[in-house]
A and B are shown apart, each in its own frame.
Chain A
Amino acid sequence: MSSTSPSHLHLAVALDGTGWHPASWREPGARPRDLFTAGYWADLVAEAERGLIDFVTLEDGLGPQSSHVLDPDERTDQVRGRLDAVLIASRVAPLTRHIGLVPTVVATHTEPFHISKAIATLDYVSTGRAGLRVQISARPHEAAHFGRRTLDRIEAYDSPAAQDLITELLDEAADYVDVVRRLWDSWEDDAEIRDAATGRFIDRDKLHYIDFEGRHFSVKGPSITPRPPQGQPPVTALAHQTVPYRLIARQADIGYVTPHDVDQARAIVAEIRAEQHTAGRAGEPLHVFGDLVVFLDDSRAEAEARRERLDTLAGEPYTGDARIFTGTAAELADVLEELAGGGLTGFRLRPAVAGHDLPRISRDLVPELQRRGRFRDAYEAGTLRGLLGLARPANRYAAA
């Protein structure tokens, strides 16, 4: 277990292109021409590690970014194109020592067998710092990139048809994560025996078929990759409503939510805890992190001016699912402490401009939280689970 003080907050940084503001690429220091190089990502993750951040998440998607939620666009004034998040995480892993690496995986169009071994391998190459963020895709045009299923276009989110589709995709994602986790457990930790006397490399009684049969797919197992160093790399997911909260409650170690004030935070946490109880996981540790977009500067006026400048460049005010914070690091620390009072155990900060706001997080916010006794002074564990205070789980298949 970690030695993290209970008063400590956890901090993650969400990396997406040049930042979360669609005009972020136009800022000085945004390096838009470097987006598709390893050096760009290595520098960002090193900066986050300098700030003793628990982990970074890497956004991903199986189609180009778009200014619409569900449809593609043909804009040329924003960043389009991205590299595979699992591979970026892996490319960066040997260059870092402490920080967790949590790539996004789209469960709707990928194979749980491949992803299970990919994240297990990320855990090996990072010696215990891998996680994954699971996401669904309800976008018809992304389905057309695969050609294996057609998704009806969602016209209104609150329509019964839309709710049915989302529920189905989330149920499938829950099965997907269940399969990924079972595959991680399909090798017991001591399955490799190298017993020269009998000539056996493994004890095959310690390898297990998972024999998963679900409504959407079935998977036999065992994995091709032995159980990863953390046993189970942490699984994370973002959710905004009851149905997705259920995925978090059933299958995640960390849920990202988007409260705009402490009352919302309290209500969301209560709802997730209730769902967790219903899912039979009441006693299990489950972090709930608040997501915030951040513009950090030396004064609030500067941060607001920067946001306005970017909005003007973008041609419209930036809005999104999460609360947008503009101000100083000290003011942000106040907000985080207040929101934490609603039961959040950490935050995932989305830098509006990665090249600007990430160094502000690591060099201004983190020292401020440290002064308040709310953040670590050094990495206190060698694995992501350790940093998060999560024990290494027992293997479900191991004989008691």
Chain B
Amino acid sequence: MSKPLKQIHLAAHFPGVNNTTVWSDPAAGSHIEFDSFVHFAQTAERAKFDFLFLAEGLRLREQGGKIYDLDVVGRPDTFTVLAALAAVTDRLGLTGTINSTFNEPYEVARQFASLDHLSGGRSAWNVVTSWDAFTGENFRRGGFLPQQERYSRAKEFLATANELFDSWRGDEILADQAAGIFLKDAKAGAFVHRGQHFDIHGRFNVPRSPQGRPVVFQAGDSDEGREFAASSADAIFSRYATLKEGQDFYTDVKSRLARYGRRPEQLLILPAATFVLGDTDQEAAELAREVRRQQVSGATAIKHLEFVWNRDLSGYDPEGPLPDIDPLVSEEHISRGRAQVRMYRDPIAIAREWRQLAEANKWSIRDLVINTGNRQSFVGSPATVARTIDDFVQADASDGFILVPHITPGGLDSFADEVVPLLQEQGVFRTEYEGTTLRDHLGLAHPDAGWATPG
């Protein structure tokens, strides 16, 4: 007997501030005005997606000591946009990236619990960490968190937030007008947390929300990050959108769950994925090349090279050969506030590899960046893309994808109109929402399900 078809999970990432977002195209609109978010969210909901995803930034990026000006710069506040989107959508999950370093558990827990109430149970939290003093300069708490403590703080932050969410069981509010009893339990919300990073106690002031707790996402890829996700997350936002890498990651992360007493289906693996659609595969391939050229101007190519070289390369011609000087290895980096730089852990080796690639293919600097960075995940006709996505999911390379279009706000439209119906025809994607909460869409149990119910 053959394995039953897995149902695909799909989500939409509002285009962000990386150079994958094309702003110079005439179709590109505002990434700040609320209308853009409304269009994007309503398209995702029309397509019956599980959720909308928002990233976060807490300091503008800099390169060479100056604010980086070649990509989209600026974004609105995550919580505030999601709360407003709850008013213009009914079912779509609302996932926000919120940093656990430059926030406090009491405040973040009440924001997520509030968002969950105000959206009728659609909130999710992508827990991220940072440690750098650069970002810390925007905050009272400053930038004094040692790097090795970032995950221990994040773990304790999440555990503390969960203690706050759980400080209300959900049945305390009686609101009996005749008897004059509003609260059944005078101590509703009481909590005490004493730990390494937080020593707090008192009363949490938001009653238990429809989902009990927001759904939790985690995005780290290091061993520690994977372990954190296996122990505490409902979904992991990975970056492996190729089949083999995806399968390896999937197997690795799912195998870690058992040691936390969890089943493999309790953690969904959702890589970020880009797409380019055309009427035919060939047309899509041509369009994809065009998009790559829009994404990587000559100036962007030079700046991208600086991430690896860690030197000012402004004197180099983007249409010329790669620099023959070596990267500068130093504690100080020319680029600040950019997570991408951490992908280049051994700059000397990467520079060597890139030079060989460029020579072998006769690539200029710009050609190299176009051909190596940010390859589109899915390029083809709607039929090809639908089939590829389904193949990935059925082959356990992921449980679905978080799609990142390259245009704001209409970049999702063609996917919704042309790919989703094919997935629905194949019987691997919902045609209607079956439930009302994000937990329902993701097939995750309500956290109260395990609680003993008093007789």
Closest Cβ of chain B to A96, distance in Å, is 10
Kindly list chain B residues whose C-beta atoms are within 8 Å of the C-beta of A218.
137
> Once the chains bind, are B77 and A203 in contact (CB under 8 Å)?
no
User: In the complex, which range does the number of interface residues on chain A fall in?
Assistant: 35 or more
Q: Does B263 contact A (CB under 8 A)?
A: no
Distance to closest chain A CB from B409 (angstroms):
14
With A124-B32, A125-B84 known to touch, is A38 a contact of B118 (CB < 8 Å)?
yes
With A144-B200, A204-B69 already in contact, the answer to whether A75 and B104 are too (CB < 8 A) is: no
A-B contact count (CB 8 A): 235
Instruction: List residues of chain A with CB within 8 A of the CB of B106.
Output: 62, 145-146
Interface check B362, CB cutoff 8 A? no
Q: Is the CB of B182 within 8 A of A217?
A: no
CB contacts (< 8 Å) of A87 on chain B: these are 79-80, 83, 111, 114-115, 118
Is A201 in contact with B83, judged by CB distance below 8 angstroms? no
Please classify the interface of chain B as helix (H, G, I), strand (E, B), loop, or mixed, using the class held by over half of its residues: loop
Bound Cα distance A144, B191 (Å): 11
Whether B180 contacts A77 by the Cβ 8 Å rule is: yes
- CB-defined contacts of A94 to chain B, threshold 8 Å: 34, 38, 84, 87-88
**Which chain A positions have C-beta within 8 A of B173?**
33, 81
Out of B38, B71, B177, B200, which one reaches A145, CB within 8 Å? Answer: B200
A185 at the interface (CB under 8 A from B): no
CA distance A80 to B207 in the complex (A): 9
CA distance A118 to B98 in the complex (A): 13
Q: Is the CB of A219 within 8 A of B139?
A: yes
- Most chain A beta carbons < 10 A, residue from B32, B38, B76, B189: B76
Contact A125 B114 (CB under 8 A): no
The residue of chain A having its C-beta at the shortest distance from the C-beta of B194 within the complex is A147
Closest to A207 in B: B67
B interface residues, tally (CB under 8 Å): 77
Instruction: Return the CB mask of B55-86 against A: 1 if under 8 Å, else 0.
Output: 00111100000110111111111011101101
Distance in Å: Cβ of B58 to nearest Cβ of chain A: 6
Contact A82 B74 (CB under 8 A): no
> Shortest Cβ distance from B153 into chain A, in angstroms?
13
> Does chain B have a CB within 8 A of A68?
no
- Asked if A141 and B202 sit within 8 Å, CB to CB, the answer is yes
B residues near A120, Cβ cutoff 8 Å = 76-77
Given contacts A199-B299, A225-B74, contact A80 B81 (CB under 8 A): no
Complex contact B58–A113 (CB within 8 A): yes
Partner of B187, one of A25, A74, A223: A74
A225 touches B32 (CB 8 A): yes
Chain A positions within 8 Å of B182 at CB level: 25, 32, 76-80
Give complex CA distance A87, B111 in Å: 7
B157-189 to A contact mask, C-beta < 8 Å, 1/0: 000000000001000010101001111111111
Contacts of B139 in A (CB 8 A): 111, 113, 219
Given the interface pairs A76-B182, A194-B24, the reply to whether A224 lies near B74 with Cβ below 8 Å is yes
Chain A nearest Cβ from B109, distance in angstroms: 10
Inter-chain CA distance A279–B103, complex, in Å, is 33
Complex-state Cα separation, A121 to B77, whole angstroms: 6
Q: Is B205 in the interface zone, CB < 8 Å from A? A: yes
Binding site for A on B (CB under 8 A): 23-24, 32-34, 38, 57-60, 66-67, 69-77, 79-81, 83-84, 86-88, 102-104, 106-107, 110-111, 113-115, 117-120, 137-141, 168, 173, 175, 177, 180-189, 198-207, 209, 297-300
Give 18 A-B contacts (CB < 8 Å), ordered by A residue.
A65-B205, A72-B203, A74-B186, A76-B181, A84-B79, A84-B115, A87-B83, A94-B84, A94-B87, A94-B88, A110-B107, A114-B77, A121-B76, A121-B77, A145-B200, A201-B70, A225-B75, A313-B180
4 further A-B pairs in the complex, CB-CB below 8 A; given A25-B177, A62-B107, A201-B73? A76-B181, A76-B184, A121-B76, A221-B138
Residues of A within 8 A of B (CB): 23, 25-27, 30, 32-33, 36-38, 42, 61-65, 72, 74-84, 86-88, 90-95, 109-114, 117-118, 120-122, 124-125, 127, 141-142, 144-148, 187, 192, 194, 196, 198-204, 207, 216-226, 313
